[in-house]
């Protein structure tokens, strides 16, 4: 798998994240996929965590 694209994932996986988090997801997936010897399960876990953290940071930045 040379490069993960947002369009490759299931709609429900992607739709729960902001556009900023989607970019973090893709970047984290690509890096983890290489780092963990092309283990998609680990790469997805890392990518979802990266997206979640990005959304959490974004929520904290929003003015209340």
pLDDT at position 8 is 59
pTM for the whole thing?
A: 0.75
Q: Is residue 26 part of a domain?
A: yes
Q: Is residue 5 part of a domain?
A: no
Q: Is residue 44 part of a domain?
A: yes
Average pLDDT across each block of 10 residues of the chain; the chain has 64 residues. List them in order. 57 75 90 93 91 90 68
Q: Is residue 31 part of a domain?
A: yes
- Domain that residue 24 falls in: 16-61
Provide the domain count of the chain.
Answer: 1
Q: How many CB atoms lie within 10 A of CB 11?
A: 8
Indicate the length of the chain as a whole number: 64
The token pair at 51 is 């997206």
Q: Is residue 57 part of a domain?
A: yes
Q: Is residue 53 part of a domain?
A: yes
Q: Is residue 6 part of a domain?
A: no
């Amino acid at each position: 798998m040379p490069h993960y694209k947002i369009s490759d994932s299931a709609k429900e996986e992607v739709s729960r994240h902001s556009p900023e988090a989607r970019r973090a997801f893709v970047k984290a997936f690509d890096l983890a996929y290489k780092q963990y010897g092309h283990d998609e399960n680990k790469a997805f876990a890392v990518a979802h965590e990266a997206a979640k953290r990005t959304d959490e940071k974004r929520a904290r930045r929003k003015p209340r």
